Structure 1
């Protein structure tokens, strides 16, 4: 028999070992519990209301699937440029991205009208359209044409405005101004028809590009302007509202199809729920951000948009989207 002191020491060692083994087992169980994972990418910063919506989406999905589906969030373009992430998703990777219609138009051309200049008169009008059978028919083509799935397309990010170093009153004021454009034909065409010289760049490059003179201006929604601190290097924000940025969460169709049906529905439901909440927050916080930037010395100006709209009147026709624009008009005025 072991001496009492030695026995107690061995007993303590065994107990400690068992506890450690139990903790290790619990950790291993948690790792194994996440049978599926999705890496969700965005160029937005963590202080953006849409990103806060992603956090709600993550929490909702993980709770509803009992942590069998894990959502990992990557803000500020950490995983790469948006177009690159789309390619990864097409290839079947477990990545997702918040994306606009202009980028998806390369697969389904009609989706380009979502960012057509001055086509939608308000957020309410574009919200109505993305809830229509016409729109759902369009996005229903993405799995076959691009190996992509839309979880929801109700993530409103705000009205796009010009961010410049000089006042902008008319299209003539944009002549010779290099304006950062989203890397898609429709948004490039929009900057051009409004009078500017479009320069395609990833959003993550915008601050340094404006600071160093690679571009002179940008166009974005208030929450993104604030989140990227463009108010530090720009003096004017002009409320052109040339389009209302409605976006959606897009994932690989191959990855999505690998999920059990019940998990697929949870992803859709939680994305819709979080998107609606984030959209309402965006509207409220967007107004607050404009006021905050004004307090920091930025001049926030309204402008007569009719000359800009007139200059861009033929864009949808030039882009071959006359029928798509007619579908939009029919739905929003029905």
Structure 2
């Protein structure tokens, strides 16, 4: 075997380390592979199913959308790298993942920055956020088809009652491997343990972690009510996500099809967000009926404990930009 053959085989191996991306002509511009860590029962995933229908009908079949739930397509960071290289992959992610390219994005999932969904939505629709998305394209070759996919308010899921940050002392809490998430768990009182969400059930079962923080739909979708006892409604983060794609890939499409993709993403993001809010409350009630204790708490001690986070992470300017829109 000569060196050229070896090089070709090695290159193919690297490109196809995620088999699903390399199957069925997935690299052609006629298809878009959409990845999310959420389960098929999640309202956001149901919104993606509607997005798929709108895109395929709107483009008269010129673009085929393939959906992959529960992280089966691969890790978000690896998929973002594929998108940077021009792959036809879309990743549903939040600002914590995008902060590696544009640091300002980390303010979106910073603790207690947004009081509610309406404030978050107002900022996402602002010219300032549009500038951040333009910067994402310039710096990383990525762009959001839309960034209005609300996943809900994040809460603490524990084995013991929590009423103040000190109650989480020594408690290992699952964390996304991102500075803003790690710092958030620290300020809430816990010990952050980086871990993929797809591993959360088995990790709590086996004691790798003691607790987690997530929105109601994710808690329910991962069946954490089977192995945990308490949900504390700290609502420390209002989680907004977007459908992130390769600008290079997007530019290969006709202007009309690009418009269809963006309009379908925006329309279904709005619908999925409303559904998330409605379904989330029902899921909390159902988890309570299954034996979990769901409680509200005085969040002021947590707010006070987390005030330092934006400044520590170099996000003071970004926070001022946010406040200029929402206050």
Query: TM-score when scaled to structure 1?
Result: 0.89
What's the secondary structure of 2:298's corresponding residue? coil
Aligned-residue offset at 1:82: 1.6
Distance (Å, rounded) in 2 between the aligned partners of 1:226 and 1:179 = 18
Residue 118 of structure 1 is aligned with which of 102, 112, 124? 112
Check whether the contact 1:153–1:248 (CA below 8 A) recurs between aligned residues. Answer: yes
The 3 A distance-change label for structure 1 pair 107 and 35 is: closer
CA contact (8 A) 2:149 2:241 kept: yes
Render the CA deviation track for 1:264-288: whole Å, top value 9, x for unaligned.
Answer: 1110000000000000000000000
**Aligned equivalent of 1:214:** 208
Q: Which runs of 4+ in 1 moved over 2 A?
A: none
Matched residue, 1:184: 178
Quick one: which of 253, 275, 283 aligns to 1:259?
Answer: 253
**Offset of residue 143 of structure 1:** 1.4
Q: Identify the residue that residue 277 of structure 1 maps to in structure 2.
A: 271
- Conserved 8 A contact 2:29-2:88: no
Alpha-carbon distance between aligned partners in 1 of 2:292 and 2:81, rounded to the nearest angstrom:
38
Match of 1:21 in 2: none
Deviations 1:185-206 (A, max 9, x none): 1011100111100011111111
The structure number with the bigger radius of gyration is 1
Cα deviation code 1:132-169 (max 9, x no counterpart) = 00111011111121111110000000000001111111
SS, match of residue 234 in structure 2? coil
Deviates more, 1:199-208 or 1:84-93: 84-93
Cα distance in 1 for partners of 2:226, 2:77 equals 27
Offset at residue 260 of structure 1 (A): 1.0
Q: In the alignment, does 2:95 pair up with 1:101? A: yes
- For residue 141 of structure 1, give the secondary structure of its aligned residue in structure 2: helix
Q: Deviations over 1:69-109 (max 9, x none)?
A: 00000001111122221122112211101110111011111
> Partners of 1:43 and 1:187 in 2: how far apart?
17
1:52-71 CA-to-partner distances (Å, cap 9, x unmatched) read: 00000000000000000000
Q: Does 1:160 align with 2:154?
A: yes
Aligned to 2:40: 46
Quick one: distance in 2 between partners of 1:332 and 1:249?
Answer: 23
1:59 to 53, 57, 77: 53
Q: Which residue of 2 aligns with 1:234?
A: 228
1:209 to partner: Cα distance: 0.8
Match of 2:167 among 173, 178, 201: 173
TM-aligned CA deviation for residue 35 of structure 1: 5.7
Structure 1 stretches lacking a partner, 5+ long: 1-30
Query: Mean alpha-carbon deviation: is it higher for 220-229 or for 134-143?
Result: 134-143
Distance in 1 of aligned mates of 2:75 and 2:295: 31
For structure 2, the 5+ residue unaligned runs are 1-24
Q: Secondary structure at the match of 1:247?
A: strand
